Structure 1
């Protein structure tokens, strides 16, 4: 399983291209060959998936019963705007304008690695999320992870 790590401040150039940071490219050695997929996130952000991760998600989506309205609506919303990204010779990717507009991304953005995917946020929006982190993060950790044994099991 892909485990991506890091948070990267980046800029979009005038043509909407993003220079993929070298430290992130090292974590995505197959991306030039296999590709990356970008689509809308659940919040006002974008998400970049390594192709293998995207393929696994699409496999899960294909198992949903398309005769159920909620399933169709979810598939339609989730895949809306999904686009394959290609690294150019300079290590840049062109972000689709429609997706950049959806997420309200200006020239300054943050790439935030989240396990096997990369969230793409407008820098100010990303910073605003964490304004009340200390207390709320502790409460969230208790709600999400409270029933689990403390610490990670390492073999």
Structure 2
């Protein structure tokens, strides 16, 4: 399993290209050539960059769902809407499509943040505001999500 670590401030050029942080490259060395999938986040105005291995595992779970169920089809359509295949160019950059930049309010300054097996890409100012707004409630969130040192699941609820 991939367990990424880090938070990096990066610049986006006028064409929407970003230099992939070298620390993430090192962490993903063995699978870097497989590429990535970039998509809108479900819950936030940010983007999610999935290493292809993580994307394939996620889609394998989705593929087990009943495709004859309308809600399932609606979910799959929305979940995969606007996804882009991403490869690093020879200089280690990747391109963020305009529609994805618009969704995440990406202009020039971004923050790339590890989120276990994927990377969130935020407008840097929006990311800082998000962290500040959640600061006071974080202790309560920890208590709500974690139970006896383990991640809360349906059995613990």
TM over 0.5: yes
Equivalent runs, 1:33-48 vs 2, <5 Å: 33-42=33-42, 43-48=44-49
Question: Residue 61 of structure 1 corresponds to which residue in structure 2?
Answer: 62
Q: Output the TM-score relative to the length of structure 2.
A: 0.90
Q: Please report how far the alpha carbon of residue 79 of structure 1 lies from its aligned counterpart in structure 2 after TM superposition.
A: 0.7
The equivalences for 1:2-151 within 5 A come to: 2-42=2-42, 43-145=44-146, 147-149=147-149
SS in 2 for 1:105: coil
Q: Secondary structure at the match of 2:137?
A: helix
Cα distance per residue 1:115-136 (max 9 Å; x no partner): 0000001111111111134430
Q: What is aligned with 2:155?
A: none
Runs of 4 or more, structure 1, over 3 Å off, are: none
In 2, Cα distance between equivalents of 1:128 and 1:134 = 10
Match of 2:153 in 1: none
CA contact (8 A) 2:46 2:104 kept: yes
TM-score (norm 1): 0.91
Give the Cα–Cα distance (whole angstroms) in 1 for the partners of residues 17 and 31 of structure 2: 17
Deviations 1:36-86 (A, max 9, x none): 111110111100011010001111111111222221121111111111111
In structure 1, stretches of 5+ residues that fail to align are 151-155
